[in-house]
Structure 1
């Protein structure tokens, strides 16, 4: 081979090496975040939009999503460092704080701002009246969890004592509540979408009321992490929040059909019409937060609900375990 030929080969090797080094440098700029969600639900549509639309990637993040069914399991995964960020109800962070944790869990970005469950009856009901629940068998949720507390808050609002006026069943694991109702347990149940609509389509149950509408605005599902992780990874937490805000704005400005088509890969066994109707139901009642900020009014409503449920002895101040600085910066940066 001629000298010119060798020079060309050598130049090619150098260029290839530079490309590899550059690629490695780019890869090192990407931060991996292990994210655990409390359940798989269309209630969390903006989270899936952030993943599918590449908003996390735009922010230099590689987010690995796993479903850690139930608030207790999700919080255990976070505290044991199995995940970096949890999507779960804010009540779990309050429980951890009030147990005297040395490394408290901090709420930094709100995803949903209402309860996400619906009251589903086994039989079709015309002209529903909450008093018709009295004396029935009600398949409830985990004691101390947000679905159960928001449910009890709503029942009491309508003059129903859930522990005396109902045959309340609460000994079924979160992931098995829907299958238990489908197999014949209970006259009424609280269900998230798309399960509520699937049951309705199959004739297993009928959606007759919304706990989200009844219980008002609250930080129902929030992204949170341990204080130690936040202190060491402020840039990553900011990037994560930026991506969530982009997704929230996207969902707010796009139709239920467009959102359904974006997130359908997370619900392979659910028909498109169910995806659309479920997302539309959440959009219509304002369940999806349009920004990540957790405000004082929502926080106080949460504390009221928890107090009424007898789950806290004292109120944890908003600023103690809520950090809105990332949400505020995300909104400012998007302007």
Structure 2
């Protein structure tokens, strides 16, 4: 009797293990490379943490590349299937004559995500105060730098004539450089900007996102060949993002902060909630996910103004809206 019972238990355990393996095997692996780690990408982390990708049958493996060039290298060398990076990078790749162009298929953010941080506290900030100052800018040719220059020029400031502009510091080390005493002003992403403010290392005085208007700042993209072969996978990916965007829309900043906290363990929940609310209030998260022609034209205008547009590229050549339209229609 005991022997029979043991055999039943063993058989049950084997069956349960087989089911678990089958369930795990059902998940399709997608390698996702993000350009940096930022609260700016909140809907992406919500999709991961809330299991929205898994609900769609996807096992999304996230890596942080720390820079647009490194992100695109990972994508082009097949080290990643999908990249989250500035849309300008797809134009750079196309201009170099890529036989397998990189296609933007969904937007995550639709404004600039950086903030102007002053070393000194300023009660009544005016953009003209930057003239004659040392400005620690972002990497040349990247969206933060181009939008930064666009905004400065909008306020009558020539970045290269009116400022001591520093652009030779690696993206990952800009915050550390400012924290160590370099520059009077710096252009920073969150949550670093708010952390600096909390620690007394700097003070947020303006938002580049509010000043620049809508632009396809960070988009999900993949090589044309990947999308052609894996359109159903990309559709599932976008559907999970749609769920995440809606969840962010429906929940408070405090609740969202709790969900994304595992991705920002060095930040306290209060700071995360402040940052999320800041991005939500200025409409940074691209809930519709569709990269419009107006946004694409604005992107190229900003690149052209910064002297970084290698060539004009037609909207239809590097933007695929069919998948987003199909998902949002459903």
1:51-130 equivalences under 5 Å are 51-130=48-127
Q: 2:95, 2:310 within 8 Å by CA — same for their partners in 1? A: no
Q: 2:106, 2:219 within 8 Å by CA — same for their partners in 1? A: yes
Encode CA deviations 1:204-255: one digit per residue, 9 max, x unaligned: 0010000000000011011111111111111111110000111011101111
Q: Give the equivalent residue in structure 1 for 2:213.
A: 216
Encode CA deviations 1:250-306: one digit per residue, 9 max, x unaligned: 101111111101101111111111101111110111111112111111111111100
The structure 1 segments of at least 4 consecutive aligned residues displaced by more than 3 Å after TM superposition are 8-28
1:321 maps onto 2:309 in alignment: no
Encode CA deviations 1:116-170: one digit per residue, 9 max, x unaligned: 0000000011221111111110001111000000000000001111011100000
Q: Give the equivalent residue in structure 2 for 1:175.
A: 172
Q: Give the equivalent residue in structure 2 for 1:267.
A: 264
Q: Structure 1 303/30 Cα, relative in aligned 2: closer, same or farther at 3 Å?
A: same
Q: 1:249, 1:291 within 8 Å by CA — same for their partners in 2? A: no
The equivalent position to 1:227 in structure 2, one of 219, 224, 228, is 224
1:230-309 equivalences under 5 Å are 230-309=227-306
The equivalent position to 2:44 in structure 1, one of 42, 47, 50, is 47
Q: Structure 1 23/70 Cα, relative in aligned 2: closer, same or farther at 3 Å?
A: same
Q: Structure 1 183/16 Cα, relative in aligned 2: closer, same or farther at 3 Å?
A: closer
Query: How far apart are residue 203 of structure 1 and its match?
Result: 0.8
In the superposition, the TM-score normalised over structure 1's length comes to: 0.94
Q: 1:89, 1:219 within 8 Å by CA — same for their partners in 2? A: yes
Query: How far apart are residue 15 of structure 1 and its match?
Result: 6.5
Q: 1:230, 1:237 within 8 Å by CA — same for their partners in 2? A: yes
CA distance in 2, matches of 1:275, 1:21: 41
CA distance in 2, matches of 1:288, 1:101: 30
Query: How far apart are residue 313 of structure 1 and its match?
Result: 3.9
Query: How far apart are residue 21 of structure 1 and its match?
Result: 5.0
Query: How far apart are residue 28 of structure 1 and its match?
Result: 3.2
CA distance in 2, matches of 1:176, 1:213: 25
Deviates more, 1:201-210 or 1:9-18: 9-18
Query: How far apart are residue 319 of structure 1 and its match?
Result: 1.2
1:148 maps onto 2:142 in alignment: no
- Secondary structure of the residue aligned to 1:120 is strand
Q: Give the equivalent residue in structure 2 for 1:310.
A: 307
Q: 1:34, 1:63 within 8 Å by CA — same for their partners in 2? A: yes
- Aligned-residue RMSD, C-alpha: 1.8
